Amino acid sequence: MRRITWLIVSVLLFSGPSAGMSQPGFDDYFINRTLRIDLYHTGTADEEVFSLDELVEEPCWAGNPRALIDTMNLGGYIFRVFDLQTNNLIYSRGYCSIFGEWATTGEAERGFTRTFHESVLLPYPRRPIQVRIDRRDRRNIFRNVFDLVVDPSDYHIRNRTRFGHFKIRKHQVNGPAGEKVDIVVIADGYRKDQMHKFRDDAKRLLKGFFSEEPFLSRRSDFNVRLIEAVSDDTGIDDPRMREYRNNIAGLSFNSLDLDRYMLSTANKALRDIAGSVPYDFIMVLANTEKYGGGGIFNLFATSSADNEYSGYVFVHEFGHSFGGLGDEYYSSAVIYNEMYPGDVEPWEPNITALLDTTDVKWGDLIAEGTPVPTPDDSTFADVVGCFEGAGYSAKGLYRPYRDCIMFSKNPVGFCPVCRKAIERMIDFYTR
């Protein structure tokens, strides 16, 4: 029954352009600028509500004008944009949010209410639009949680970014934003006199990043710009040490009360900084030696700059924010209660609940004769299969490879399944 329901819902949601038909024409509906919708996302484990904060116009649109409709079906949320006059679906994107993660914590389940700020971005519409946000429920079925009508001529739309004065460095620009994956690397916790350090840190970590497949062979598909965002203080917040800093992008350790988890809840500042360059994906670099980072699909990724594992964290977290990859590990402590209900197939491309051993989502990469589930021993060290233990759970969830950069800190790179998911995303942004 569950499968049938899901099938019907998927057909309803993802028929049309995403099913292989043509994408809407960019120039028919949009101009080459960005409309940013800033929202407050409030609720408990069971209920949530979005409310409008502000609409912002940003200078150009970085996304692929040939890929307006999201064909990936990843993320806990999807936002869709309809042309109000014709009711045509003209843009959609899956994404995840801090709220969505927080809602699985004990604090949320005890009935506590919290608010997180977030933004959705779309190309600037020519005509009035309806924006709709749906979230997946625990059964993976999309439920509508927010609707908004926007008239692009509304004079309430702020058309000036607040942090346009920071110095921008072009690390590599290989072509127009619409044909490349545009990464912006933002400094956090660097004072004005430390920007040479930021440039060196970014250079070092990006060198490691582009030595990892598939980024190595697809390097020319990426543009990377650095923003020298200036903080008053060195370093970032470290609540467990009671150390609080004036850092411009708002990064903090101990996000959702997990010490190594480093996120920013200052979304507004972060977006205002990022908005001064064309960007698809945000990477925030923290000027600290302490181990930590974070990455949320289509939101942002973070890494500390000076830890011995920073090179690994930088790539791993980008795997979350860019590829929608899940954590394949299961032995480290996390704060989520039942992030993945065992009887529902996770949407992440590299984790499966293995509800049907004859129909695995990465089955095209499993060689004939490989047992599924696959025994976790050295016989299957370099084989794609289904290894039990993934997504913070030792039982009931399976990963595609014995080791992977989404599984451990070992220098093993991305497994074939993660690599394919990333390549597919690069194609989506560039072809």
Separation CA 74–CA 95 (nearest Å): 7
What contacts 412, CB < 8 A, 6 or more positions away?
A: 403, 404, 405
Amino acid symbol at 163: F
Q: Is 87 or 331 the residue whose CB approaches Zn ion more closely?
A: 331
Q: How far is the CB of 346 from Zn ion (least distance, A)?
A: 13
Binders in 209-228 for Zn ion, by CB under 5 A: none
Alpha-carbon distances of 321 from 119, 253, 302, rounded to whole Å? 15, 18, 9
- Among 105, 287, 350, 374, contact with Zn ion (rule: CB under 5 A): 350
Q: Is 305 or 418 the residue whose CB approaches Zn ion more closely?
A: 418
Extract the tokens encoding 92: 């959609």
* String marking each residue 392-411 x if it binds Zn ion according to CB under 5 A: ------------x-x-----
Q: How far is the CB of 401 from Zn ion (least distance, A)?
A: 6
Task: Pick the stretch among 48-56, 259-267, 277-285, 345-353 that binds Zn ion (CB under 5 A).
Answer: 345-353
Q: How far is the CB of 168 from Zn ion (least distance, A)?
A: 33
Burial of 8 (0-12, 13-18, 19+ CB in 10 A): exposed
Burial of 111 (0-12, 13-18, 19+ CB in 10 A): exposed
- Among 103, 366, 415, 421, contact with Zn ion (rule: CB under 5 A): 415
Q: How many residues bind Zn ion (CB under 5 A)?
A: 5
Q: Is 383 or 418 the residue whose CB approaches Zn ion more closely?
A: 418
Q: Is 305 or 422 the residue whose CB approaches Zn ion more closely?
A: 422
Q: How far is the CB of 415 from Zn ion (least distance, A)?
A: 3
- Among 177, 258, 418, 421, contact with Zn ion (rule: CB under 5 A): 418
- Rounded to the nearest 10 degrees, what angle do helices 310-323 and 195-209 cross at? 70
Task: Pick the stretch among 163-171, 178-186, 348-356, 366-374 that binds Zn ion (CB under 5 A).
Answer: 348-356
Q: Is 133 or 415 the residue whose CB approaches Zn ion more closely?
A: 415
The pairing of beta strand 293-296 with beta strand 281-286: unpaired
Q: How far is the CB of 406 from Zn ion (least distance, A)?
A: 4
Separation CA 71–CA 18 (nearest Å): 5
Separation CA 302–CA 310 (nearest Å): 10
Q: How far is the CB of 399 from Zn ion (least distance, A)?
A: 6
Q: How far is the CB of 327 from Zn ion (least distance, A)?
A: 10
Q: How far is the CB of 418 from Zn ion (least distance, A)?
A: 3
Q: Is 304 or 350 the residue whose CB approaches Zn ion more closely?
A: 350
Our finding on whether 425 is near Zn ion (CB under 5 A) is no
DSSP H or E stretch at residue 66? none
- Under DSSP, the state recorded for 336 is B
Separation CA 197–CA 201 (nearest Å): 6
Q: Is 311 or 349 the residue whose CB approaches Zn ion more closely?
A: 349
- Under DSSP, the state recorded for 392 is T
Separation CA 250–CA 231 (nearest Å): 10
- Identify any residues that bridge with 295 across adjacent strands, giving them in sequence order: 301
Separation CA 52–CA 36 (nearest Å): 11
Our finding on whether 384 is near Zn ion (CB under 5 A) is no
What are phi and psi for residue 85, nearest 5 degrees? -70, -45
Q: Is 149 or 216 the residue whose CB approaches Zn ion more closely?
A: 216
| Residues of this chain that bind Zn ion (CB under 5 A) | 350, 404, 406, 415, 418
